[in-house]
A and B are shown apart, each in its own frame.
Chain A
Amino acid sequence: MTLLRHLVAALVAGAIIWALSVQLNAFRDFQMAEIAVYVVAIAGLSLLIGLSGQISLGQGAFMAVGAYTAALLMLHLNWPLWAVFPASAAVTALAGTVVGLAAARLSGPYLAGATLMLAVALPSLASQFPGVFGGDQGLSVTVIPPASLGATFPQTRWLAWVCALAALVTLVILANLARSRVGRNWRAIRDDPVAAALAGLPVGRLRVLAFIVSAACAGLAGAMLAVTTSLVSPGSFTLSLSIALLAGAVLGGLGTLMGALWGALVIVLVPTYVTDVATSHGLSGGVAANIPIAAYGVVLIIVMLIFPQGIQGGLRRLAKQFLPAPPTHLDSPDRRPPASEDEDVNSPYRRPPVSEHQEEGTS
């Protein structure tokens, strides 16, 4: 039943996207493909943070892994797109397993620090091995629409279709995963790892699994980004990409897939808009380029301080006020334990002086 609902929703969304892509010009089609890329990357990150309670700043680094995998497969082996996407996701999932094994033993700040380091360190590998990864210039890939669509078919529209399809498939899979036993187990280990372990859940393994899923999403998103921008270079996968993804996930609403869409819309459309406005008001390019960065910071701080449930949480609250109460779902904010509301549960003042930050996994 759930599967059916998700499939229907995906079909409707697909129809809307198709209708839009035919109407829009090439630049908007390109943006649509970009939004699809970010939806996939943010959805993975949002599930990781919102459901399993692990925070990662390495999502951009995993996108780099996926993007380089895709570029190498297409340049050297001439793989078609339908094979490149899953392969990139699989390779990145493998990388995610390695990091996830280390990450499962770490909690909040340690994990964020380790993945932050990953985001800072990984691009330098591309410069270290210029023979394979093309150095700072990177690798360029080109995708042409299939001949059956006609010779004049715009390339950007084809990319928008491909990326939107990949994003919809990913979202359906993730939606089902979040509603499944695995998703419920993730919520359990997020809310209380001790209780979850006592109830027999393999806490370490579940954390690693969440990390793998999120890395696979990042890998797919990286491959999609590679074909969309037709260039893979270390400069595209800086720390600011990881932080933009985090900002998108937080703003949209952690742990919700619709939130990933809101987040992706904001981080693709708003910076372009802001930069346009800033340059048209005579600000120099350097200043204009930095405004979105500062804006991500403001978004992260304000959302966390004022409405930690993000846009999707706000929409749900609105819907509840104006519509008759729908059946509550497991991940609706009001069904969560009061940890985020109740000041005392997680208060550092209630903690014993013995620190609890050095977690060791049971895996």
Chain B
Amino acid sequence: MTEFLQFTLGGVSFGMVYAAIALSLVLIWRGTRILNYAQGAMAVLTTYIALTVINRTGSYWEGFVVALAAGLVLGAVIERVAIRPVENKPPLNAVVVTIGLLVLIEGIAGIIYGGQFRSFPPAFSLNGLHAGSVALGISRNDVFVAAAVLVVALALAALFRFTSTGLRLRAAAFNPYAARLLGVRVGRVFTLGWALAGLIGALAGLLVSTNTFLYPSSMDSIFVLGFTAAVIGGLDSPVGAIVGGLILGVALNYVGGYLGSNLVPIFGLIALVAVLMIRPSGLFSVSHGRQV
């Protein structure tokens, strides 16, 4: 029973990281109908930047803030330079370009920082928490991971719900053509969407790298699970992304805990295919499928 509780709580912490990746994918998908395969690689690069800053200054939080800012800038730059030209082209072109970005960024990270595994410092203590005499299987840092993603998600929800920028973002996502006619600078709005997604991806990279080590392709497996989480929730729905991340995180933690960690990627694949076969629009999507 204690074991079950530990796996559940640990799963929530991992799930929130998947949720963050999923959220960044959803942000971009809603605006531009592009799936950003480079999201994980971008997070790797910003996390390396954070590590450099932390080693220079000795302060975790300076690195944290710099990485988030770097994610914001990186997202915007990539949208302007590489994505804008393929936004109106067949979907396949965008897929290939973002995959190209994925390997390009990972290659650059490898060239600059080398391929060895590096440990990334935690924000808070990694000592296990206890409720009375029962070990909960999570640390203060795990709580911080979940809380950080939750705070960012709520801030994002507030941005979308209560500000005029949020209204523009929603309008451009809902119908770019009509939004443009009504005076929304759709191009800028898309850039903003990519920048926000870059920030959330950077956050996910910072949070997960304590557990996984940092190396140029360290986010690949995290990214595919984040993608799975986004698909579970329906690529259109931010709430779905969070819920999908939580479901996936907890489920995969049971698999890893009870059956062995080598099986986690395979079960992720099974979960993805199962969702796509049974309910391809995801659990929370409001749009309708096309019958072809």
B33 at the interface (CB under 8 A from A): yes
Please, which residues of chain A bring their CB within 8 A of the CB of B262?
124-125, 127-128
CA distance in complex: A300, B111 (Å): 19
Partner-contacting stretch, out of A19-27, A74-82, A180-188, A344-352: A344-352
CA distance in complex: A249, B6 (Å): 46
A120-B221, A305-B86 known; A194 vs B292 contact (CB < 8 Å): yes
B106 at the interface (CB under 8 A from A): yes
Contact B292 A362 (CB under 8 A): yes
Contact B268 A121 (CB under 8 A): yes
**Tally of A-B residue pairs with Cβ under 8 A?**
214
CA distance in complex: A346, B91 (Å): 8
B144-177 vs A, Cβ < 8 Å mask (1 yes, 0 no): 0000000000000000000000000000001111
B269 at the interface (CB under 8 A from A): yes
Contact B280 A358 (CB under 8 A): yes
Contact A305 B82 (CB under 8 A): yes
A109-B35, A358-B290, A362-B291 known; A120 vs B220 contact (CB < 8 Å): yes
A36 at the interface (CB under 8 A from B): no
CA distance in complex: A223, B114 (Å): 32
Contact A105 B224 (CB under 8 A): no
Among candidates A247, A287, A346, residue contacting B90 with C-beta atoms closer than 8 Å: A346
CA distance in complex: A301, B97 (Å): 5
B35 to chain A, nearest CB (A): 4
B1-43 vs A, Cβ < 8 Å mask (1 yes, 0 no): 0000000000000000000000000000100111101000000
A109-B95, A246-B96, A346-B91 known; A296 vs B107 contact (CB < 8 Å): yes
Please, which residues of chain B bring their CB within 8 A of the CB of A193?
292
Among candidates B86, B95, B177, B263, residue contacting A55 with C-beta atoms closer than 8 Å: B95
B273 at the interface (CB under 8 A from A): yes
B110 to chain A, nearest CB (A): 3
Contact B177 A108 (CB under 8 A): no
Contact A355 B287 (CB under 8 A): yes
Please, which residues of chain A bring their CB within 8 A of the CB of B227?
113, 116-117
B102 at the interface (CB under 8 A from A): yes
Contact A243 B276 (CB under 8 A): no
A3 at the interface (CB under 8 A from B): no
Contact B108 A294 (CB under 8 A): yes
Contact B224 A116 (CB under 8 A): yes
Within 316-363 of A, Cβ neighbours of B (below 8 Å) are at: 339-340, 343-344, 346-362
A360 to chain B, nearest CB (A): 5
B62 at the interface (CB under 8 A from A): no
Contact A128 B260 (CB under 8 A): yes
Please, which residues of chain A bring their CB within 8 A of the CB of B99?
57, 112, 243, 246, 300
CA distance in complex: A347, B34 (Å): 12
CA distance in complex: A353, B173 (Å): 8
Please, which residues of chain A bring their CB within 8 A of the CB of B103?
240, 243, 247, 293-294, 296-297, 300
B100 to chain A, nearest CB (A): 3
B289 at the interface (CB under 8 A from A): yes
Contact B33 A120 (CB under 8 A): no
Within 168-195 of B, Cβ neighbours of A (below 8 Å) are at: 174-177, 180, 186
A91-135 vs B, Cβ < 8 Å mask (1 yes, 0 no): 000000000001001111110111011101110110110000000
Please, which residues of chain A bring their CB within 8 A of the CB of B228?
113, 117
Please, which residues of chain A bring their CB within 8 A of the CB of B93?
304, 308, 340
Contact B176 A124 (CB under 8 A): no
Among candidates A112, A128, A197, A291, residue contacting B37 with C-beta atoms closer than 8 Å: A112
CA distance in complex: A346, B99 (Å): 20
B105 at the interface (CB under 8 A from A): yes
Q: Which of A121, A287, A354 has the most CB of B within 10 A?
A: A121
CA distance in complex: A105, B110 (Å): 36
Contact A108 B92 (CB under 8 A): yes
Contact B102 A297 (CB under 8 A): yes
Q: Which residue of A lies closest to B225 (CB)?
A: A117
A271-302 vs B, Cβ < 8 Å mask (1 yes, 0 no): 00000000000001011011111111111110
Q: Which residue of A lies closest to B228 (CB)?
A: A117
Contact A121 B266 (CB under 8 A): yes
Please, which residues of chain A bring their CB within 8 A of the CB of B82?
301, 305
B210 to chain A, nearest CB (A): 21
CA distance in complex: A156, B24 (Å): 49
CA distance in complex: A106, B277 (Å): 9
Please, which residues of chain A bring their CB within 8 A of the CB of B85?
305
Within 232-286 of B, Cβ neighbours of A (below 8 Å) are at: 235-236, 260, 262-266, 268-269, 272-273, 276-277, 280-281, 285
A117-B224, A300-B100, A349-B176 known; A286 vs B272 contact (CB < 8 Å): no
Known: A124-B263, A360-B280. 14 other contacts (CB 8 A): A113-B37, A117-B227, A121-B224, A124-B262, A203-B292, A247-B100, A290-B107, A294-B104, A297-B101, A346-B88, A348-B33, A348-B176, A349-B177, A360-B292
Binding site for B on A (CB under 8 A): 49, 53, 55, 57, 102, 105-110, 112-114, 116-118, 120-122, 124-125, 127-128, 193-194, 197, 203, 238-240, 243, 246-247, 250, 284, 286-287, 289-301, 304-305, 308, 339-340, 343-344, 346-362
Top 5 A-B residue pairs of the complex, sorted by shortest distance between their CB atoms: A297-B104, A294-B107, A300-B100, A290-B110, A121-B265
16 A/B residue pairs, CB under 8 Å, sorted by A? A53-B92, A113-B35, A114-B276, A116-B227, A121-B269, A125-B266, A286-B116, A291-B111, A300-B100, A305-B85, A340-B93, A348-B88, A349-B186, A355-B33, A358-B288, A359-B289
